[in-house]
Structure 1
Amino acid sequence: MRFFIENLSKKYDDKQVLRDITFTFDSGKIYGLLGRNGAGKTTLFNCINGDISSDSGKFTLLTDTGSRELMSEDIGYVLSTPTVPEFLTGREFLKFFTEIHADKIQDLKPLDVYFDYMGIDRIDRDKLLKDYSHGMKNKMQMLINFIAQPNILLLDEPLTSLDVVVAEEMKQLLRSLKGNKITILSTHIMDLALDLCDEIVLLNHGVLEPVYKSDLDNNEFKDKIIAALREDNNA
């Protein structure tokens, strides 16, 4: 499977955030989307997800059955700040999610199997989500995407505010999930991208540029990346 972005542009007032981006992503890989805060990583994700309209551009998915336009059900989106229905318990949330997506979920399992997979203790499964920690809410976001198995998983700074233990658990989970899907993880932390990701892409001045890990042995190239990550939001 391949995901094509063609001629994607987005402008806010007089600021050009995305500049005629054309890029191809392949399945089975985790892509690290590197960029400073304000570089446009979230804007890129929101355009792909359809949360905002782009000024121009096209999204195409190539599967075994042929090429087609990207659809909303192809995409899973995990936000940096978890968004969950806090008036439900963890179990109620999963039950609701699996019931409304029952026709799309393959090999649906008992809810406790999913909780076990995610390492959520039995005592926490019937607690209200409002009483979950940030890390547990993040796990619930990941869990529904594990169940839904979208073709493309967008992760917007998902590990930035997690403690070391939960962050490591999430990294192991992401490695196990990448399978035949396309995972794109945005971050401004180069070490995280190097540790977790198969491919690295730099978003700088509105353009996507592949970063080859072999180039990171070149101090001049590495300095270029660090300089791009340090630029202020008005660059």
Structure 2
Amino acid sequence: MILVQCQGLSKNYGSKKALNNINLTLEAGAPIALVGPNGAGKTTLFSLLCGYLSPSEGRISLLGEAPNSPKLLGKVAALPQDATLDPNLTIASQLALFARLQGMNAKLAAEEALRVLSLVDLVDIAQQKPPSLSHGMGKRVAIAQALIGSPTLVLLDEPTAGLDPANAKKVRELVKTLSPTTTFMISSHNLDELEKLCDQVLYLDKGELSQSVSMHANTDSDYLTLTMQHCDSEKLLQEVAKLNGVINVSTKQSNSFVIQLAPNEDKIAEQSAIDHYQFEMKLLSLFNHHHWQYKMLMKGRTLEETLFS
């Protein structure tokens, strides 16, 4: 199912071009990451998808409809980064109000408010008002609001910004749990978090879509990412480079290494997997010989390395 299509999408603010000729097609499935530096156009793109702004040029289609179409009611939802709750209303009454705006009657709206609060594990604070909540709890309530009506597409702008590790983990787990039925598009600067959640990654820079990559692309199958707890870095670089099948080995930061292996273009997938397994066994034997301790050995490259290498 095609969720989002942008054709020649541009947005100008006076003489400044916030987005320039964006062309993309997004399908339902695993969460999608939207990354880029501050001022790259991420928030502008989200605002255009939500219908808050109109494009200067080009077209947008969500589930085959224009962003402001009434047919999208309950199917597309968004959580702006700085979303706030009314301090004078209880959590349950606010969420029920939003459910009513989607066309639910009073009874169904009250039930829906409790349903989405249960998704974020906050049913027990339903009758409290926002000022009594911690920052993390308030953020989770805001996410619950975006889940009203079980939308097909949810846009999350920095959903874990400012959250403590426990609350951030709960948000990640929620996204994973709901991903089979809801597609999330997540804008964030936290590459480690996006790497855990997303497959497709869109990289915006200076208003242009400069990269669109998949974390599970076959092109990364010829790389290994290695993180060591204890080793002689210079010695490790020398010894790994000597192993058969290694094209290049480099270090990007302290005790972190990227190993590029010779591609197995003429071999079937099963044989390629065996070759990689044998290489990993040699690598572990090398660690044992030198009494080096490794922390992580990962197939492929990190998102940071994929985007910025």
Q: Name the TM-score class by shorter chain.
A: 0.7 to 0.9
Partner of 1:156: 157
Are the counterparts in 2 of residues 82 and 137 from structure 1 also a CA contact under 8 Å? no
Match of 1:4 in 2: 5
Name the structure 2 match of 1:80. 81
Aligned to 1:43: 44
Q: CA deviation at 1:116?
A: 2.8
Aligned counterpart, 2:198: 197
- For the pair 1:118 / 2:115, whether they are aligned, the reply is no
- Superposed CA RMSD in Å reads 2.7
| Contact 1:8–1:56 (CA under 8 A) maintained in structure 2 | yes
Q: Please give the TM-score of this superposition, normalised by the length of structure 2.
A: 0.64
Give the AA of the match of 1:115: L
On the 8 A contact 2:114/2:123 being kept in 1, the answer is no
Which has the larger displacement, 7-16 or 36-45? 7-16
Give, in angstroms, the shift of residue 94 of structure 1. 2.2
Match of 1:225 in 2: 307
Look up the equivalent residue of 1:168 and give its one-letter code: K
Offset at 1:224? 7.5
Residue 58 (structure 1) shift: 1.1
In structure 2, how many angstroms separate the alpha carbons of the residues matched to 1:180 and 1:126?
29
Distance 1:224 1:115 in 2: 37
1:104 is displaced (CA, Å) by 9.2
CA, structure 1 residues 154+118, in 2 after alignment: closer, same or farther (shift >3 Å)? same
* Cα distance in 1 between the residues matched to 2:36 and 2:105: 34
Shifted more, 162-171 versus 90-99: the winner is 90-99
Structure 1 match to 2:132: 131
TM-score, scaled to structure 1: 0.82
Aligned partners of 1:111 and 1:159: how far apart in 2?
22
Unaligned stretches of 5+ residues in structure 2: 225-257, 261-300
Match of 2:212? 210
Counterpart of 2:62 in structure 1 is: 61
Q: Return the letter of the residue paired with 1:55.
A: S
Tell me what 1:170 maps to: 171
Matching residue of 2:19:
18
Letter in 2 for 1:118: V
Tell me which moved more, 83-92 or 205-214. 205-214
Measured after TM superposition, the shift of residue 130 of structure 1 is 2.4
Quick check: 1:104–1:148 contact (8 Å CA) kept in 2?
no
Match of 2:147, SS? helix
Other structure's SS at 1:81 match: coil
Secondary structure, counterpart of 1:144 in structure 2: helix
* In structure 2, distance between residues paired with 1:120 and 1:134: 13
> What is the CA–CA distance in structure 2 between the aligned matches of 1:98 and 1:15, rounded to whole Å?
38
Q: Which has the higher contact order (CA 8 A, sep 6+)?
A: 1
Contact 1:94 1:111 survives alignment (8 Å):
yes
Distance 1:98 1:19 in 2: 36
Tell me how far 1:99 sits from its aligned partner. Answer: 2.9
Q: Which amino acid aligns with 1:27?
A: A
CA distance in 1, matches of 2:78, 2:103: 19
Q: For residue 128 of structure 1, what is the amino acid of its counterpart?
A: K
Aligned partner of 1:231 in structure 2 is none
Give the 3-state SS of the residue equivalent to 1:148 in structure 2: coil
Instruction: Tell me by how many angstroms 1:49 deviates.
Output: 1.0
**Residue 145 of structure 1: aligned partner:** 146
Q: Which moved more, 1:32-41 or 1:199-208?
A: 199-208
Question: Tell me, what secondary structure is at the counterpart of 1:126?
Answer: coil
